[in-house]
Amino acid sequence: MKRAVPLGLIVNELITDSLKHAFPEGRDGTIVLALGRAGDSVVLSVSDDGIGLPPGFEPGSATGFGLNLVGILSSQLKAELEIGSGTGGRGASFSISFRL
């Protein structure tokens, strides 16, 4: 339960942000959610093929509540958070990796 609640909140926030920002004006797109093991770690990833992150985006300087919450919850899990390009180099990708 100590991991399930923060993970659920992270998934909710990342999918909500994708729906809210990645597909403006009713644009079609895909959101991919994956959870798997990599050695002794668990990796959660959420990516989309939307419009991508704003130019010059710096993960540590996010001002919105959502990404700050994802960062806080990732720290709570002692997880590594990686932010990059999404599916096929388009969109956005978020990967959270933590030890079992």
Range in 52-56, 74-78, 79-83 with the lowest mean pLDDT: 52-56
The rounded distance, in Å, linking the Cα atoms of 56 and 41 is 30
Q: Does domain 4-99 have CATH number 3.90.1150.10?
A: no
Domain ranges of the chain: 4-99
**97 half-sphere exposure, CB direction, 13 A CA radius:** 9
pTM score, whole prediction: 0.88
pLDDT in tens, 28-69: 999 999 999 999 999 999 999 999 988 877 766 666 788 889
